[in-house]
Structure 1
């Protein structure tokens, strides 16, 4: 469910209050998880001690709201700008480091939320529940300090391509001189998009990426290495990943580079990831071959030698060949955020629904790890859950070979830590929280314990008695300027322990 503004603290402008509430929730989640210390609960608000000794209190748990700081003997309400200032002060005190970039991203993320909310109010949501689930993420990553930042550009530059604004658009079609094409794997779906002139190969491009790289690519257009061939005769829909689009008419996903920092990274298709793509993809496909879970394979990529990362496009399987008959795929992150048609809203037997959900998403991840040495990045944005006509989960589909780790290239303990974070902390904790908000009497964790012990994986059994689980520290990672791929974790109380 989306966060709600604090009625007592809301600014006069209701739209601004709503944007503040959406943006404050993940920022508070980061601050409270990563550097604050909870005090014994008393009353309706939770109180935390900050690194410099000050006290902060908030309403709510899963999506905290209404932050107030205790100064001069009383509680003072914090607007979003005040919250950003407070976070920066506390991080400087905690780490001894300064950072001017991240506070600007926090503010940009809040302003992006405001633009998205205004655009959504004018837009028409797609009829397809799957697309609605992909385009639902106005909050975005619930534990990132700036989940909606779009590189600081004005909304007019990125709103036409924003999934949260229910965007849809055709792709730009380019011709790349044949002798300059680099590709690997099955890219035949690209050639089927449109004919290319003699001596050229077809290369679709994301229109926003072309705008971002216009200066760099201008010489290639001028000397004929690149030619423009118009646009696709059909629209594509940006998914939650923003740079990955879905073409329903072709049942095809295409993933592009996008030279914009979104959450922790500049979202390029990096050469080192592309060059190991085929091996990684084959390993995951083998790990999930027994079904019923499915892998949306990254079939291959095509690019231009002179702009290898900038113009790269990755071809990913569509949905229809993998889905069970009659099943409707939905993005797991959309279930948490909420959208029209969300099966969580209509679950008449939440315990049975939750057990069915776990039976689909947990076994494939454990089997891939223990039986094949494959660490799925099974977080909310990489997991689709297909439901039947009654909204019951019947199948899981996973995607994105770029985030997959393989053993023994990754140490087994590090791989398990990554899996626990992605599957349990990032994924199951969030879905359980969304479900129990609707059904407060449900205790979700006995069912998780049963599912984890059913498969004979030693690490999964040991997980039940560990006092803590790893939680990624996105706020500290960004503040200290660490590489986005260099995951750092802090211990979080294990919801499975003590059951």
Structure 2
């Protein structure tokens, strides 16, 4: 397989057909997109437990990685928390690679060919997103408009913009960064064949049938059936969740693989939705007003993860006069100065809330997409909003310790394993959301150093201060398709980080 530059050329050819005026900008964005994906890949190579890397050596000129076959990779020092596209080239022995897909092909490790194809499409799709970017100076007044400004996807995933199965026309029609209006449809299903929790609205009922919202791509490519037109909506960062104008957010069963895995809405998630929402509201009330959790209004499944939907309250409900609710992933695009004092205040707010809930017994998956911040009129961080409870973890033992009744739930959401709980929070909040805003290890370390002394002293805080930071091994996961579930790595603690990775 030779995925690059074929993927770039394929996108260019499709773009010439569907939007030729965008083609020059797309071509101009390709070098920057290659560097952005290569930077993410280099982070993975530098910091993840890849079995074919046998040693890591730092020196005055950068980082060298010894490979099991005797070759050596040479590149810059790899700050595990940096988000800028600072890696423009990596040498494999004497050969310079500027294309991440070509580099992966040359490494020729197990499953490299399939991963190289993903990297090539991530580059091409990233260039397409950047080419169509539109970032006006004024702050948007709707929550979905913030999400449309995020062009580069996950700040640390090499497959940040890989969307298998999506043509260029599909990306332009459904990708939030392209600012489309998507016409959602509905599919009628006999109520007796559906599982429903919460309140399902009257407009989505038709006698003895329930009308299940469906994404047009899902209807065409997975369900392969027609649907009735329903309402226009604006896609959010997750692609499958869309905001109805003046109404709730609709999470659809868009069964496409985005970054690491195929996302769907399982019957388990629908069954748990109402119970989780009620439980989370009680937990949020214990944070002295610092956290709001968007309510799940209703959830339905036609007994299949391919045809299901969740209606969720808009985060805008928690903005006061003059305030804005901004996804953390979009904070770097707000134009806020993000001074050390601002970053320390935001870090203190996020850690106060995250550690408080963890101590009570709930580990949030607080990455930059799920976590939003309420900003005052002058841009100061005031409160947090969290959405999408489908992947939190709940500890019955911790709840009992605080006299909190355990929700009537079983299954994957429930665990008392401290490693699992801390990985869930620290891997998403520290190695994800906060790192993405800080943009570098030194900046994140300084913000933590300012915030940590004033936090309540708990065993979780001690673990955060003393140990390495858990993070999903995103590159390892893509190169280990035979291993289900998340895999993890340990990053240097930013409180003591000296920018160079630890020698191994």
The 2-side partners of 1:402 and 1:289 are apart by 20
The match for 2:432 is: 426
| SS of 1:213 mapped into structure 2 | helix
Unaligned runs of 5+ in 1: 1-11, 222-227
Q: How many positions carry a matched residue from both structures?
A: 443
What pairs up with 1:272-351 in 2 under 5 angstroms? Answer: 272-290=268-286, 291-305=289-303, 308-335=304-331, 338-339=332-333, 341-343=334-336, 346-347=337-338, 350-351=339-340
The 1-side partners of 2:27 and 2:76 are apart by 21
Unaligned runs of 5+ in 2: 1-25, 397-413, 499-504
Confirm whether residue 82 of structure 1 aligns to residue 102 of structure 2.
yes
| SS of 1:475 mapped into structure 2 | helix
Match of residue 243, structure 1, among 235, 240, 245: 240
- Kept in 2: contact 1:126–1:166 (CA 8 A): no
| SS of 1:172 mapped into structure 2 | strand
The match for 1:206 is: 215
The 1-side partners of 2:383 and 2:432 are apart by 19
1:274–1:125: structure 2 CA closer, same or farther, 3 Å change rule? farther
The match for 2:10 is: none
Higher relative contact order (CA 8 A, sep 6+): 2
1:19–1:461: structure 2 CA closer, same or farther, 3 Å change rule? closer
Bigger mean CA offset, 260-269 vs 420-429: 420-429
- Kept in 2: contact 1:464–1:497 (CA 8 A): no
1:487–1:122: structure 2 CA closer, same or farther, 3 Å change rule? closer
Confirm whether residue 103 of structure 1 aligns to residue 104 of structure 2.
no
The 2-side partners of 1:322 and 1:186 are apart by 21
The 2-side partners of 1:380 and 1:482 are apart by 28
What pairs up with 1:317-396 in 2 under 5 angstroms? Answer: 317-335=313-331, 338-339=332-333, 341-343=334-336, 346-347=337-338, 350-371=339-360, 373-396=361-384
The match for 2:12 is: none
| SS of 2:58 mapped into structure 1 | coil
The match for 2:87 is: 65
| SS of 2:217 mapped into structure 1 | helix
Could you state the TM-score of these two structures normalised by the residue count of structure 2?
Answer: 0.79
RMSD: 3.0
Question: Which whole-Å deviations, capped at 9, do the CAs of 1:439-465 have from their partners, x for residues lacking one?
Answer: x9x9323113224xx223222124312
| SS of 1:258 mapped into structure 2 | coil
- Kept in 1: contact 2:41–2:100 (CA 8 A): no
- Kept in 1: contact 2:255–2:264 (CA 8 A): yes
The 2-side partners of 1:356 and 1:269 are apart by 35
| SS of 1:321 mapped into structure 2 | helix
- Kept in 2: contact 1:59–1:67 (CA 8 A): no
- Kept in 2: contact 1:59–1:65 (CA 8 A): no
- Kept in 1: contact 2:367–2:429 (CA 8 A): yes
The match for 1:159 is: 172
